[in-house]
Chains A and B, each alone.
Chain A
Amino acid sequence: MSRPVRFNVNTVPANTKDHISIADMPPGQTGEGFFATKLSDAVGLARKNSMWPLPFATSCCGIEFMATMASHYDLARFGAERLGFSPRQCDLLMVMGTIAKKMGPILKQVYLQMAEPRWVMAVGACASSGGIFDSYSVLQGIDQIIPVDVYVPGCPPRPEGILDGFMRIQDLVGEESIRRRNGEQYKELMQSYGIK
């Protein structure tokens, strides 16, 4: 017997007249049976809609992340259905919560174990800059030890904020050039963090 529906008991038919958006094709040449575009656009489109995040949840922001993963604010709609806990298999390192100095080397090790291309999102005030804990034992922002792509401020940020941060990461992923990771600027960035 099917479960009776409890929510939305008096359903209103959805008005989708101007509400459906279709994802835009990247710019390119189209013809009978073919579509030509830049390789980086196609690869970016594929990558950004199937990111596999690694939730590195340490404290309160982790609970807001659990709320983001749950059905009310669903992270799976953005393609991040499969959360992995092994850095070898993940693309996006989401650092949520305070990172203490004792935890710093562990975070760096997890980052080093990730395979290129990898992105980092610092969720919450503590991960971005140390937050309200200006003390001797808290690392004042994870960008002291690893390069960060997107910072999501908030204490804790609302789930909409985390989703917005994820969408900014998707923008970065979609527009990344194929040669970025081999270029001079990237190598200098890694050098400044002491990562080979």
Chain B
Amino acid sequence: MTEQHIKLPEGSIEKATTTLNLGPTHPATHGVFQNILELDGERIVSAEQTVGYIHRAFEKIAERRPLYQITPLTDRLNYCSSPINNMGWHLVCEKLLRIKTPKRVDYMRVIIMELARISDHLICTSVVGVDSGAFTGFLYVMQYRELIYEIYEEICGSRLTTNMGRIGGFERNFNSIVFEKLEKFLREYPAVLREFENLFTRNRIFMDRTIGTGGISADRALNYGFTGPNLRATGVDYDVRVHSPYSSYEDFDFEIPVGKTGDNYDRFLVRNQEMWQSLKIIEQAYKKVQAFKGADAEIYHADVPEYFLPKKSDVYTKMEALIWHFKIVMGETEIPPGEVYHSVEGGNGELGFYLITDGGRAPYRLHFRRPCFIYYQAYSELTKGGMLSDAVITMSSLNLIAGEMDA
């Protein structure tokens, strides 16, 4: 069969690129950030990112608020896993005030932080599925996110932006309903996660779309400041929980999954494996919490009346609690001047807090080291040379949460 070639006169078509605006209102409900792509046909030549569409000036607001009023602000950083942000903030305050929390409090914090990590990874992995056209996985796992929300509700009253805990521990002890729901979760969730993995991991279409796209090498990733599952997918096993353990993570036995090439498929697999490891940690922590009996089982906060807001029932009936409540709320307690940096392993990587106090009620300067902001810079390098559909999958597999990016 002969082919007809259309011969055009020389120089009549100039090679030009199309500019496509993958704008701030974009259908993957991740949040608002904009990518201006230069396309040559279907291939991406360059990408420019614009962020700041949800800049809420957290750092300026934090200079006005006393320490415990900053907890609701930290909730709204990475809102898919807000307990981790809350606990991270309380850990910074405890480092500043040199408070040591009892072991039971640490183990309770570990349970909550790992549940939050599972919740965050579930959103990311199921939305990678939704962006590549597979809506079913999302519906299957949302049921179990609802169960995690119910556990949060029992402890702090709220589902998503939890404002959980106090400096020194929790505001109330875990009651029997929490343990019942936790047992139900531990019993039923592994089967669901296995089913979710079955749908995606060896699925031909999903593999073809994600293998080889959006990859980055370990050196470039480290230079770009990647942390968290995105860095672990490139092969570097840096995890703040193991490197600088906080909240008694050194008492737990878990592995850190790493990938090889850092492409979208590796990120997906690393997140799935991390969910399995989180389940393992929750089981161990649950047994350790149950091992405290008698009077020890009633400990849910450190003994620091100067910084721990007392229970309302005590405030209305006991004199000391009333005085401490008054002092804490009116800002009469002593916050030592100092500067401290502490980081926790958030859902996306190393979430750091740099706090400078000057003795007053509110911090002098509070800076959040936000992992999403730092690794989104590498997006143009990740997508260069790839196709447009890969750009969308890369964006969702990086787990970009706009609240954390813009703060």
Check if B56 sits within 8 Å of A100, measured CB to CB. Answer: yes
Indicate if B304 sits at the interface (CB-CB under 8 A). Answer: no
Check if A100 sits within 8 Å of B53, measured CB to CB. Answer: yes
Beyond A98-B56, A100-B54, is A60–B145 a contact (Cβ under 8 Å)?
A: no
A73 to B354 CA separation, bound complex (whole angstroms): 40
A95 CB to nearest B CB, Å = 11
Interface string of A1-37 (1 = CB under 8 A from B): 0000010000000000000000000000000000000
Beyond A67-B142, A67-B146, A72-B142, is A60–B53 a contact (Cβ under 8 Å)?
A: no
A58 to B160 CA separation, bound complex (whole angstroms): 15
Q: Which residues of A contact B55 (CB under 8 A)?
A: 100, 102, 137
Q: Which residues of A contact B61 (CB under 8 A)?
A: 133-135
Indicate if A59 sits at the interface (CB-CB under 8 A). Answer: yes
Interface string of B375-407 (1 = CB under 8 A from A): 000000000000000000000000000110010
Check if A58 sits within 8 Å of B402, measured CB to CB. Answer: yes
Check if A64 sits within 8 Å of B142, measured CB to CB. Answer: no
| Interchain pairs with CB closer than 8 A, number | 97
Beyond A64-B159, A100-B55, A136-B57, is A58–B32 a contact (Cβ under 8 Å)?
A: yes
Indicate if A152 sits at the interface (CB-CB under 8 A). Answer: no
| Chain A: number of interface residues, binned into ranges | 20 to 34
Q: Which residues of A contact B23 (CB under 8 A)?
A: 106
Q: Which residues of A contact B27 (CB under 8 A)?
A: 85
A62 to B406 CA separation, bound complex (whole angstroms): 16
Specify the chain B residue showing the minimal Cβ separation from A85: B27
Q: Which residues of B contact A110 (CB under 8 A)?
A: 25
Most buried by A among B56, B79, B139: B56
Indicate if A66 sits at the interface (CB-CB under 8 A). Answer: yes
A171 CB to nearest B CB, Å = 26
A72 to B141 CA separation, bound complex (whole angstroms): 11
Specify the chain A residue showing the minimal Cβ separation from B195: A3
Interface string of B57-101 (1 = CB under 8 A from A): 100110000000000110110011000000000000000000000
Shortest beta-carbon contacts, A-B, top 6: A70-B142, A135-B57, A85-B27, A60-B79, A103-B53, A133-B56
Q: Could you pull out 27 A-B pairs where Cβ atoms are within 8 angstroms?
A: A6-B188, A57-B31, A58-B32, A59-B76, A62-B29, A62-B31, A63-B79, A63-B123, A63-B160, A66-B29, A67-B142, A67-B146, A70-B138, A70-B139, A70-B142, A71-B143, A72-B142, A85-B26, A85-B27, A102-B52, A102-B55, A103-B24, A106-B25, A135-B56, A155-B161, A156-B159, A156-B161
